[in-house]
A and B are shown apart, each in its own frame.
Chain A
Amino acid sequence: MRVTNTMLIRTMMLNLNSNLARMDKVQQQMATGKKIRVPSDDPIIAARALKFRTDVAEIEQFQKNTSDAMSWLEVTETALANMGDVLQRARELTVQASNGTLTDEDRQKIKAELGQLKQSIVEIGNTTYAGRYIFAGFKTDTAPFAVDGAGNLTYQGSAVNSAPTGQEIFYEISVGNRMQVNVEGYKLFWDGTDERIFKTFTDLEAAIDSGDQAQINSCIEKFDRDMNQLLTIRADVGGRMNYIELTENRLQDDYVNFTSLMSKNEDVDMAEVIMRLKSEENVYRASLSAGARIIQPTLVDFLR
């Protein structure tokens, strides 16, 4: 094949150009730390990058959700613990009151303390978290519990045993997985058939007033029963907190996994890129010096 001058120069320019283009690409990878710049560089990496970004963003959101759910449940758990203490004290007082040797004055003192405990039960039921009543179902903007004129406990304005149902608040803590964060307050005082806690206090007060020793004794059992129910609810809350904790740990692992997958998918290996840049640079230099040698001399230089 004849080789002509224009051919030589063209080929040299083409080679220089493609060397430069490769160097530009490696340089870009080094500057951005990313394997690809646009989807066409590698559509597979691009599609996976999109997926990982979404996954990571979601995990971050779920982490916020779990910690918010946890805070809500912690406040609930504290309130329930307080209520447990109140019941415990109330039971002790009831045991004292059941002692037949007490004077009426002693009984009235006990009754006065019971009255305060009864009041604090309502207050605990109206516990707030960040300004929201946690036992109020969906109506967290109003205090759920009150005592009506007849001295009965009301929940959202009606009798505890006719409370609205289905006001469970759910937070999403992982894809498609929702966790109830609230305890509907009326469930503390109504087990589906009987009124609890507040009613026991009312019954006890009446029994103390009438001096009905048998009634007072039966209230000890009632408090035991109420405490059991409270414990069941606390166990449920505790179980949920446990589950959220597990989820939090899992999300933490997922986050590490997905961010490292994301990095593996789209980030360059710096050492490798630096090596490649160095070698591309060498190739470029070599082609420059080869070109400089090839294009210069012609027969002209050797003719007299």
Chain B
Amino acid sequence: MRSSFFGLEIAARGLFTSQRALDITNHNINNVNTPGYSRQVGIQKASRPIGLFDGTGMIGTGSEITAVKRIRDDFLDYKYWSENVSFGEWETKKIIMEDMEAIFNEPSDSGFNKVLDEFFSALQELSKNPGSLQTRELVKSKGITVSKYFNSTAAQLQKIRSDNNYAFKIKVDEINSYAKQISNLNEQIYKSELDGNTANDLRDERTVLLDKLSKLINIQASEVVVGKLPNGKEDRRFQVTLNGSYLVNHFRAYELEYFEVNDATSPKDGMYDVRWKDSKNPVEPKGGELKGYMDVRDGRGINGEYKGVPYYIDRLNEFARNFAKAFNEGIFKDGNQYYAGHAGGVGLDGSTGIRFFSYEENGTAKSSAELMASGADMDSVYKNITAFNITLSSDILDANNGIYKIAAASSGGESENNENINQLLRLRHDTRMFDEGAPEDFMKSLVSNLGIDAQQAVRISENQDSIVQQIENRRLSVSGVSIDEEMANMVKYQHAYNAAAKMISVIDQIYDVTINRMGA
């Protein structure tokens, strides 16, 4: 014999089930725009049936929602993180390379080529009128322009390095902050899942943090089963590793720290590097923004290294140094002397042995004699000249008689003698000066190199961007909330609710008959 109110009991469950389902739908609709939110569905089951002892079998007892499930494809998260790391790296490189292109400002009417063109034009004018003080003044001022170009370009490149260094530091802080937040979430998730529930929304939050973290550095994230809990559920712990070491292990976050490198032999000298705070073991980022900053900041382009800012500074130094040496001494990169050079010529005042280019220290230009005394041999003398400090020698810079010392002539007392200046003019097309060829070829190859590298960074970052977007779209396809779908569900559950309520009123009528109308 069934219990009298069994029907009411079933109908009430139907109400509860539909209400719970509407709640879930409501929650989904609310979070349609929440970043990282995964839609949730109620797992609805027929509730436990009751066995009948009269041989009829079992009778259903209605329905219930047994769990609220988060719809998510873990594989897509894994893919997202592994592609995002490369996106982070190349996007960073792209932005910095674009800055560098702006610094070189080529092709334009104010870049290096223009400066060098004008310098050689001034020399041409001097060659045609070596006795004229005006043309000498022109050569001097164009010479200053050339050296100033190097000074300011090198200084701006150095500025990019220090800006990157600062950004690097901030990114390390960010990683630590994310790791800390993930470990906190791990704790909350673990505790709320002890009774077998899934902490859907907290898990979503954690995934968002991992999305962000994966853009900064190469991480692996996984949930591992370490045993069974007393209640028979799996004991799941969440771990994030970086190069095989734990960044987050369950409730614990391991911090990274930045420190300034003080090692003149290292390309990172004076810059920040990153290591584990506890063990002080080094961390070598293999991807992400951190690697992007490091590569561009420190890459010298040697042995397959990335061609970062130091590479371009090195090349500018190389140019300044070798051009100064060739111009002053007529000595090329291979160490052979091909021309008499500026030092081999004679000035209007009969002076000879004067170097045109020199370097400055503490804002003071070295004289020709000081330059030559600064090293034991030619190589060590010219090692002192860098793109940062190249300038004209103080002999030439001298406001009173500097321009008389510009050595246009091959011998003294001959105002129209332009033999030496003509030799210096030959430097412009002498392809033996650099490995790349003549001075302009060197710069041309540098600029096209920069262009190609920047183009590569743009392409890779755009590709990675679209890959990441693609994966994100697939994630959204699986986990995203569709309002249409939720609306349909809403209508569905509303009808189910109405129907269950109707059942109650039908049963109510039955009872009304049996209780109130019988025997009356």
A-side interface residues toward B, CB under 8 Å? 1-7, 10-11, 14, 36, 38-44, 46-47, 49-51, 53-54, 57-58, 60-61, 64-65, 68-69, 132, 136-141, 167, 169-172, 175-176, 178, 182, 266, 298-300, 303
Contact = CB atoms under 8 A, between A and B. Distances in A.
B477 A266 contact: no
Given A61-B120, A298-B484, A43 B128 contact: no
Given A43-B451, A139-B414, 20 more contacts: A1-B477, A3-B477, A4-B476, A5-B32, A5-B481, A6-B32, A39-B106, A39-B447, A39-B448, A47-B444, A49-B107, A57-B118, A61-B121, A64-B124, A69-B128, A137-B414, A141-B415, A172-B422, A182-B416, A299-B484
A302 B102 CA distance: 54
A103 to B, nearest CB: 49
Interface in B461-478: 469, 472-473, 476-478
A138 B451 contact: no
B76 interface: no
Contacts of B482: 2-5
B279 interface: no
B422 A5 contact: no
A5 B481 CA distance: 7
B512 interface: no
Nearest to B448: A47
A132 B416 contact: yes
B458 interface: yes
Contacts of B107: 36, 39, 46, 49-50, 53, 266
A6 B445 CA distance: 46
B124 A65 contact: yes
Contact of B480 (A6, A43, A172, A298): A6
B271 to A, nearest CB: 25
B127 A46 contact: no
24 contacts: A2-B478, A2-B482, A2-B485, A10-B472, A14-B469, A38-B454, A39-B106, A40-B97, A40-B101, A43-B451, A46-B447, A46-B451, A53-B113, A54-B113, A54-B117, A57-B114, A60-B121, A61-B120, A138-B417, A170-B418, A171-B127, A172-B127, A182-B416, A299-B484
B57 to A, nearest CB: 39
Nearest to A182: B416
Contact of A39 (B414, B429, B451): B451
A6 B128 contact: no
B409 interface: yes
Interface string B357-375: 0000000000000000000
Top 5 closest pairs, chain A to chain B, by CB: A39-B451, A4-B480, A43-B451, A138-B414, A40-B454
Contacts of B422: 170, 172, 178
B102 A38 contact: yes
B487 interface: yes
B134 to A, nearest CB: 12
B446 to A, nearest CB: 10
Contacts of A57: 113-114, 117-118, 121
Contacts of B453: 40
A137 B416 contact: yes
What DSSP secondary structure best describes chain B's contact surface? Answer: helix
Count class of interface residues, chain B? 35 or more
A39 B106 CA distance: 7
B510 interface: no
B347 interface: no
Interface of B: 32-33, 97-98, 101-102, 104, 106-107, 113-114, 116-118, 120-121, 124-125, 127-128, 131, 409, 413-418, 422, 425-426, 429, 440, 443-445, 447-448, 450-455, 457-458, 469, 472-473, 476-478, 480-485, 487-488, 491
B452 A2 contact: no
Contacts of B487: 298-300, 303
B106 A171 contact: no
Nearest to A138: B414
B318 to A, nearest CB: 18
Nearest to A265: B107
A43 B455 contact: yes
A138 B491 CA distance: 104
Given A61-B120, A298-B484, A139 B98 contact: no
A69 B128 CA distance: 8
A47 to B, nearest CB: 4
Nearest to B29: A300
B372 to A, nearest CB: 28
A78 B422 CA distance: 27
Contacts of A41: 451, 455
A57 B112 CA distance: 13
Contacts of A171: 127-128
Contacts of B425: 172
Contacts of A10: 469, 472-473, 476
Contacts of B488: 299
A170 B128 CA distance: 8
Given A2-B478, A175-B429, A43 B113 contact: no
A60 B124 CA distance: 11
A170 B422 CA distance: 8
Most buried by A among B416, B440, B443: B416
Contact of B447 (A2, A50, A182): A50
